Amino acid sequence: MTNPLLEPSKLPFGLPPFAEIQDRHYAEAVDAGIAGHLAEIQSIVDNPEPASFENTAIAMERSGRLLERAAASFFTLVSAHASEAIQKLETELSPLFAAHQDAVYLNRELYERFAAIDTSGLDDESIRLVQEYLREFRQSGIQLDPDDREKLTSLNAELSRLGTEYGQRVKEAMKDAALVLDDAAALAGMPADEIASAAEAARTAGYEGKNLLTLIQPSNQPALASLENRELRRRLFEASVARGSDGSRLDVLELAKSMARLRAEKAALLGFGNYAELFMDRQTAPDFAAVQAMLNRLAPAAIRNTDAEAGALAQSAGHPLEAWDWAYYSAKVRRERYAVDEQLLRPYFELDGVLVDGVFFAATSLFGITFHERKDLEGYHPDVRFWEVRNEDGSELGLFLGDYYARDSKRGGAWMNSLVEQSALLGTKPVVVNNLNISKPPTGEPTLLTLDEVRTTFHEFGHALHGLFSNVTYPRFSGTSVPRDFVEYPSQVNEMWLMWPEIISNYARHYATGEPLPQEIVERLNESKLWGEGFATTEYLGAALLDLAWHVLDAEDVPQDAQDFEAKALAAAGVAHSLIPPRYRTGYFQHIFAGDFYAAGYYSYIWSEVLDAETVDWFTENGGLLRRNGERFRSELLSRGNSRDPLESFHALRGHDASLEPLLKRRGLY
């Protein structure tokens, strides 16, 4: 059989032909893709003509298409549907990708051609393309002497290997930490459909007749809010926070320490004081000090709010609180103070209703785009669904894939990724995927979401819109290819529509009766939105500051005892709280250790939220859900990708630089 990855896909929008791809095809395609890309680069280098924008920058943008196809489809499987064979391939292939990145950006002759390009007369996007290539060369170490370049290559290869192993162990540890329960009576307090999902999860995992409480990636587990059995809450909480740090074969603390040490060495080699400074050299944040100043301003107010919430919880509980009590009594206080029981809201949040009548309806109202389900297409798993997205005039915009259910082969959390990047140069339209981890109900039963899962659905679709609306020339700038501390901004803005009156009245309907969510409940939800912000901000800041603590270390200062280091780092940052662990602990902090995507960059969520809070104010001041607002947001920001400085795009939309005050008001942190 011919390897289907070796040629461009003939499916709509270039969707990878997953039904035809066998595991062995990936290694073959990656090998061929790397060899082909290196040959294309050598052709650029060997060109006897003087370096020009066309024969160097454009040639570079056109190169590597086979490798891009293979990598996009392969890493989609790594995250969303990784068999043992795919995991083994990940271990083998990840170092090859790291080595190839070095082979490209440590190529002195290629760098010199880019440095020789005359950019006079080029348009702004083309000038930026040359500048961004030169910046990546420099950040990758092109200025190093040959011995140091060799050392850097070795560091990158080892970091890639360790990150892959970390991610695989964490996924396995999350599965191993699930609680198997013989008697459904232990689940008293949980909604009936969640109990049914626990039984279905047990059956799928081979525990027929039992119940399985599976875990999600963050420390705080949703079931803690409803389980009446305090001992079971304790077991679930302790299983969650002990992942990756229990001394078992899945312990990852030694991996984390090794990665922190190697990153410190890499930063020093590249001339930076620490890895956090290296990361922030590529971001919209001006420097490490600015990020620290923001987090330090937020921390004391968050702890004050947390202590006030803890007092209310202890009064409601009537006994001293433990960490596993927080979510349960927080839900109880919300019911008592605001007459809001989030568990009773779930029948109004059925997945298809939220998606089609909420998320898609908001996008159509704001941008005029429409969604047309494609049941003729086949994905990497039967749960994957497809929608062709069209502009208001009926023209094709792109393809959206939704993969919403949890499974053993999928990593935890929620994310968006691209299978095909938009590019006018290449004539490609975007193909983007949203992944969530919602518990799958028994066949024929509705999928009912928590309010937090509704928020996540809107959030991830904000990323999808960023990819779908991309309207750039060069693939390097497409969609979400923006600085890490900017990428969360459009997705956070999209969360505003979940409670917008016209939107929630359209999607929040009882799955059985069709009755809308009563208006008085919507009003009480709005009244209660500041409740729990102390907890939410404190657990987030704990993770963000823990991330930075690991990445400001010198190589020789990496601690022997990772757990002791974690405790001291949280205390020193002023966010240690006996009842609130950080959102992610070192043993399961995939964002920063399963690769380097967010390493030293978990602060990005709240940095982006500063822009988000300003933008929500802009929408509100200008009438909210109006087509003219959507068109401005699309044209000035969502369509731009990284084709201009993202902060210029924000300024073009908002009219001024961002301030922290709207965020402080939103989170009740004055």
- Write the pLDDT tens digit of every residue in 553-596: 999 999 999 999 999 999 999 999 999 999 999 999 999 999 88
User: Can you tell me the distance from the alpha carbon of 411 to that of 171, in angstroms, rounded to the nearest whole number?
Assistant: 6
Across the chain, what does the average pLDDT equal?
Answer: 97
The answer to whether 288 touches 651, Cβ cutoff 8 Å, is no
Q: Within the chain, which residue ranges are assigned CATH 1.10.1370.40?
A: 349-516
pTM over 0.85: yes
β-strand partners of 433:
401, 417
pLDDT digits (tens, 9 = 90+) for 332-372: 999 999 999 999 999 999 999 999 999 999 999 999 999 99
- Is 460 one of the annotated active-site residues of the chain? yes
DSSP secondary structure string for all residues of 100-114: HHHHHHT-HHHHHHH
Mean pLDDT of 172-196: 96
**Is domain 253-340+531-601 classified as CATH 2.40.30.10?**
no
Give me the pLDDT at residue 670, please.
76
CA 419 → CA 13, 16, 17, 68, 468, distances in Å?
10, 8, 11, 9, 11
Helix (H), strand (E) at residue 436:
strand 431-438
Q: Which of 90, 277, 460, 539 is an active site residue?
A: 460
pLDDT at 1 over 70: no
349-516 CATH fold:
Neurolysin; domain 3 (1.10.1370)
Residue type (1 letter), 642? N
pLDDT digits (tens, 9 = 90+) for 53-101: 999 999 999 999 999 999 999 999 999 999 999 999 999 999 999 999 9
Q: Within the chain, which residue ranges are assigned CATH 1.10.1370.10?
A: 253-340+531-601
Q: Which numeric CATH code is attached to 4-143?
A: 1.20.1050.40
b (16+ CB within 10 A) / e for 17-55: bbeebeeebbeebbebbbebbbebbeebbeeeeebebeb
Q: Which of 477, 357, 475, 495 is nearest to 414 (CA)?
A: 495
Mean pLDDT of 277-288: 94
Q: Within the chain, which residue ranges are assigned CATH 1.20.1050.40?
A: 4-143
